[in-house]
Chains A and B, each alone.
Chain A
């Protein structure tokens, strides 16, 4: 029940109710984005953002830089071990 799915905001559909269309792996669904809108992130600026969707709500933005750094760490780990084994 507590799992979320990553998706990308592609369109704001209802400014008053903070609704947006999110592309989740090719499936487009209207979700509520109230949890990720604040003074630093006005509604219109959310288009293009990657978010985690849970029970019809975008719960948080996905930090692409942090994701890339974690993946880079895995890459280095795998590369270092390949080096050891050869």
Chain B
């Protein structure tokens, strides 16, 4: 496919790897690079990029998987909405298996709720057109990549005066999350591989604070293997030259000022929340989007009574530390034992963009990690009760 296959050619990857190795010899110490986006995490594991990098480069998998950062309380709210009589609840497939405090959307559907998987928010609007006697609610989630599509869907619903349609907005913003990470003293990073498709919407300008205030380089990257290798090469060049800049590897898609039309739609439909709870990261100021009062009739939070409770993560689950890059997935007690993609306890095990699921699926573990896992005691369910949502047999 155009601009996919061309960025996967092995001999070009080998050439980039050799350039990366050359630059590594000029580093004064081993370095840690965080790839913020879950899409990058998935590609890194899928193509074995970690394995072909010199040992002096450690990749830290960041919090850019929207499913992974969804807090339990918001999932409970979504399930509560879906259980309303007369509601058709529409969601992307990724969100179906995310554990709430008692159940998942998939389990709620099995118990009778009308929950439907859609490919696009426009599909949920079509469900509303087709079912005028039902209330259709779309579970809007994702970073700035997805926010324009949900904004345009609300604008479309308003233009057509579709009154049986609303959204439960859980959109989050990448810049406040990055700032929260950079302010965390536990985190020692030397640079960032910046999210490609978020940047397609917001541009590269919003990252300037990372280089100017925190003295870290960032390279916005595409998702193919050659994109990621080139981004790491560009970051290394900055580090060995003691430069600290915002650079754009993904310039076939990302412009400096982003997509103005998409940003206008977001600003028209959404307002920034004072604070939003992230799973594992806690409350982050100004990090979530709610629906503007002008479009209140499409706001499911106003249309339905929701529990709106904060629910703590299971104490055995280390998703929070993993999302911050402080722990590796295999260092979590339940990784690969009680927590697997089939029976996820934490969100990082749910989506293919989550670090735990990527480690589990592709099994690209270092010998140290394999030894650690082999020595881990199996977590017995009877000894340590785990939430019902963690087990598909429930």
A binds B: yes
Interface residues of A (CB under 8 A from B): 1-6, 8, 17, 24-25, 32, 34-38, 50, 52, 54-57, 59-60, 62-64, 66-67, 70-71, 73-75, 77-78, 80-81
Measured CB to CB, the closest approach of chain A to B331, in angstroms, equals 26
Measured CB to CB, the closest approach of chain B to A42, in angstroms, equals 13
Question: In the complex, are the beta carbons of B122 and A32 less than 8 A apart?
Answer: yes
Check: B341 CB closer than 8 A to any chain A CB: no
Measured CB to CB, the closest approach of chain B to A34, in angstroms, equals 5
Question: In the complex, are the beta carbons of B119 and A54 less than 8 A apart?
Answer: no
The answer, among B12, B39, B123, for a CB contact under 8 Å with A75, is B12
Check: B1 CB closer than 8 A to any chain A CB: yes
Measured CB to CB, the closest approach of chain A to B237, in angstroms, equals 13
Measured CB to CB, the closest approach of chain A to B4, in angstroms, equals 6
Measured CB to CB, the closest approach of chain B to A15, in angstroms, equals 14
4 further A-B contacts with Cβ under 8 Å, apart from A25-B1, A70-B230, are: A56-B123, A60-B255, A64-B252, A67-B6
CB within 8 Å for A6 and B4 given contacts A1-B142, A17-B156: yes
Question: In the complex, are the beta carbons of A57 and B4 less than 8 A apart?
Answer: no
Measured between beta carbons, the chain B residues less than 8 angstroms from A75 are 12
Measured between beta carbons, the chain B residues less than 8 angstroms from A32 are 120, 122, 149, 152
Question: In the complex, are the beta carbons of A59 and B262 less than 8 A apart?
Answer: yes
Question: In the complex, are the beta carbons of A52 and B200 less than 8 A apart?
Answer: yes
Measured CB to CB, the closest approach of chain B to A72, in angstroms, equals 11
CB within 8 Å for A50 and B2 given contacts A34-B152, A56-B119, A57-B152: yes
CA distance A51 to B193 in the complex (A): 23
Question: In the complex, are the beta carbons of A2 and B66 less than 8 A apart?
Answer: yes
CB within 8 Å for A56 and B251 given contacts A32-B152, A78-B11: no
CA distance A77 to B261 in the complex (A): 37
Check: B197 CB closer than 8 A to any chain A CB: yes
Question: In the complex, are the beta carbons of A78 and B15 less than 8 A apart?
Answer: yes
CB within 8 Å for A63 and B260 given contacts A1-B353, A50-B3, A71-B6: no
Measured between beta carbons, the chain A residues less than 8 angstroms from B67 are 1
Measured CB to CB, the closest approach of chain B to A14, in angstroms, equals 11
Question: In the complex, are the beta carbons of A2 and B197 less than 8 A apart?
Answer: yes
CB within 8 Å for A1 and B38 given contacts A34-B152, A56-B149: yes
